[in-house]
Amino acid sequence: MAQEQGNTRKVAIYRYDPTVGGDGHYDHYDLHIEDETNTTILDVLLRIQREQDSTLAFRYACRVNMCGSCAVVINGREGLACKTNVSDFAESKDLTIRPLNHFPVVKDLVVDMGPFFEKYEECLPFFEPRDMSEEPAIIRPDSIERRAIGFSTECIACGCCVSSCTMVNYHDGYAGPAPLNRAFTLLLDSRDALYEERLDRVLQSCYNCRTEFNCTEVCPKEISCTRSIKFIQRLAIKEPFRAKAKSKAEAAASAPAHGENVAAEPCAAHASGEAGQCGCDENLDTGRRNFLAKVTVGLGAVSALTVGGVLASTFVGQSLDKKEPVWVPAGKLGDLKEGDVTTVNLRYVENVGFYNQERVKPVMIYRNQEEDKVVVYDSRCTHLGCSVHWDARQKLFLCACHGGAFELDGSVKAGPPPRPLATLEHRVENGNILIAMV
Ligand code: SF4
Ligand code: SF4
Ligand code: FES
Ligand code: FES
């Protein structure tokens, strides 16, 4: 008798019926999955809805990590259902799927995002161009400003970070990580006209953050809201200096110009270079000029020092973030398929700030003994990060999201991926293959 392929998972899903009310409950399902590396949590929900319980409610749209609508809590951790693979969880583990925390539940896994967008709105999430800005107002991609903003602009408003943040529950007025991250991207944008008002709106919230890093840990777009919030706090520290220098400069600019107190017309003596022969007080004039020069230099120095300090500390912070790779065992070299690709789920523990996090990452290893060659491919598609799988029949790496296809050497064969598959560093010790996870 042919042996059955795959694994049967026990799946517990939170159910809430608004017509009944109460605290809700969990329903339990058994689901047989043939290939867990190629099955997402969204696939699990869709199959349960189609095959076992058509009343199950959940939300999704794009299926490719772009719309943010499928965010749920899976085995205690927030994530996008369409991005999380079943194989991310050890085979023996049951799956528990519940709605996001801190959001009112509408039905089952569907939450009301209204309060989230209200908080967003309070932080002025829109761009307001400055009066003097020229079109097109460009920020160069390699500028310090753009690099500091980084990919914080990639937020898809999924709400995972807000769900993971315990402080959201403690402070009613707390804007939460995603809205503050949005404010951060605009506060650093030199073209934006709402700097003061925006900073004023988010300042109190920034101090509600307790630097727990939960938001950073769960963001499916790998945005560090913690970093964004800390950056706003640094802007707040320099704000009194900036405001003082600005008001001094404004006062100086609105003071009467040279000679205004004596005559409406320019002073002929000064115009002819005969200083001291007119009614103007040249010393006063020189003094004011010196004062203005000092304010300007001072303003420049304060902002250069402060901005420099903020940016330097950010980049120092970023460089400090660089970690030593963790060498994760991927099995015996001899067990890998010869001349073919083997998918291996790497399991390892990563130190994330103050605690350790268990990780599961699928990688694809190509081995060719004749050429004495081993290549380890990252399974993330270089288009939008969906999981790529090896199709042995077509001899291609395929991405189901938008039809991306990669050759055996990792180069792009078809579809939208802009780059070849990423490779991971490896080494072989005593016949065991070790892969570097950074
Ligand atoms: S910052 Fe990340 S986790 Fe938070 S809403 Fe945006 S994409 Fe989602
Ligand atoms: S770092 Fe701040 S915003 Fe992020 S989870 Fe912690 S308290 Fe919340
Ligand atoms: S369905 Fe759009 S992000 Fe998952
Ligand atoms: S994510 Fe679009 S093709 Fe892979």
225 lines ligand 1 (CB under 6 A): yes
What's the whole-number mean pLDDT along residues 83-95?
90
pLDDT digits (tens, 9 = 90+) for 195-206: 999 999 998 888
Tokens 């409406």 belong to which residue? 264
CA 60–ligand 3 middle distance (angstroms): 5
247 lines ligand 2 (CB under 6 A): no
Q: How confident is the model at residue 3 (pLDDT cuts 50, 70, 90)?
A: low
3 state SS of 178 = helix
Run of H or E including 397: strand 396-399
Phi-psi region of 273 (alpha: psi -120 to 50; beta: other; left: phi over 0): left
Q: How confident is the model at residue 287 (pLDDT cuts 50, 70, 90)?
A: very low
Q: Is residue 268 predicted with pLDDT exceeding 80?
A: no
Which has the minimum average pLDDT: 47-56, 187-196, 382-391, 401-410? 382-391
pLDDT value for 265: 39
Atom of ligand 4 nearest to the CA of 404: 3
384 lines ligand 3 (CB under 6 A): no
Could you tell me which residue, 420 or 260, shows the higher pLDDT? 420
Q: Is residue 298 predicted with pLDDT exceeding 50?
A: no
Q: Which phi and psi (to 5°) does residue 130 adopt? A: -70, 155
Burial class (CB in 10 A: 0-12, 13-18, 19+), 116: buried
What's the whole-number mean pLDDT along residues 258-270?
39
Distance CA(163)–CA(14), nearest Å, equals: 16
Contacts of 96 (CB under 8 A, 6+ apart): 11, 12, 13, 26, 74, 75, 76
402 lines ligand 4 (CB under 6 A): yes
CA 234–ligand 3 middle distance (angstroms): 34
Strand ranges (E), 53-172 = 71-74, 77-80, 95-98, 105-107, 110-111
Q: How confident is the model at residue 59 (pLDDT cuts 50, 70, 90)?
A: very high
Q: Atom 4, ligand 2: which residue's CA is nearest?
A: 215
Best of 161, 181, 384 to mutate for ligand 1, by most ligand atoms within 8 A of CB? 161
Q: Is residue 33 predicted with pLDDT exceeding 60?
A: yes
Phi-psi region of 126 (alpha: psi -120 to 50; beta: other; left: phi over 0): beta
Q: From the CB of residue 235, how many other CB atoms can be counted at a distance below 10 Å?
A: 20
Sheet with 432-437, strands from edge to edge, namely 326-332, 432-437, 426-429
Q: Is residue 20 predicted with pLDDT exceeding 50?
A: yes
pLDDT value for 302: 43
Q: How confident is the model at residue 248 (pLDDT cuts 50, 70, 90)?
A: confident
What's the whole-number mean pLDDT along residues 254-273?
43
What is this structure's pTM? 0.64
Task: Provide Rg for the chain, Cα atoms.
Answer: 29
Q: Is residue 267 predicted with pLDDT exceeding 60?
A: no
Strand ranges (E), 110-267 = 110-111
pLDDT value for 320: 41
Tokens 């990780």 belong to which residue? 359
Highest mean pLDDT among 137-151, 184-198, 313-327: 184-198
pLDDT digits (tens, 9 = 90+) for 311-366: 444 443 443 445 678 899 999 988 888 889 999 988 888 765 555 666 778 899 99
401 lines ligand 4 (CB under 6 A): yes
Distance CA(187)–CA(232), nearest Å, equals: 8
388 lines ligand 2 (CB under 6 A): no
- DSSP 8-state symbol, 85: B
Distance CA(229)–CA(152), nearest Å, equals: 11
Q: How confident is the model at residue 207 (pLDDT cuts 50, 70, 90)?
A: confident
Q: How far apart are the first and last CA of the chain?
A: 44
DSSP readout, 3-71? PPPSEEEEEEEEE--TTT-SS-EEEEEEEEES-GGG-BHHHHHHHHHHHT-TT-----SSSSSSS-TTE
CA 184–ligand 4 middle distance (angstroms): 29
What's the whole-number mean pLDDT along residues 89-112?
95
What's the whole-number mean pLDDT along residues 188-200?
91
Distance CA(75)–CA(186), nearest Å, equals: 35
Q: How confident is the model at residue 413 (pLDDT cuts 50, 70, 90)?
A: very high
Q: How confident is the model at residue 134 (pLDDT cuts 50, 70, 90)?
A: confident
CA 66–ligand 4 middle distance (angstroms): 11
What's the whole-number mean pLDDT along residues 55-73?
96
CA 153–ligand 1 middle distance (angstroms): 10
Distance CA(223)–CA(216), nearest Å, equals: 6
- DSSP 8-state symbol, 88: G
Q: Which phi and psi (to 5°) does residue 304 adopt? A: -65, -45
Atom of ligand 1 nearest to the CA of 68: 8
pLDDT value for 4: 65
Distance CA(322)–CA(368), nearest Å, equals: 33
CA geometry: angle 346, 348, 350, nearest 5 deg: 135
Average per-residue pLDDT in the chain?
82
CA 179–ligand 4 middle distance (angstroms): 28
Distance CA(438)–CA(436), nearest Å, equals: 6
Best of 158, 162, 181, 229 to mutate for ligand 1, by most ligand atoms within 8 A of CB? 158
Q: Is residue 279 predicted with pLDDT exceeding 60?
A: no
What's the whole-number mean pLDDT along residues 87-116?
94
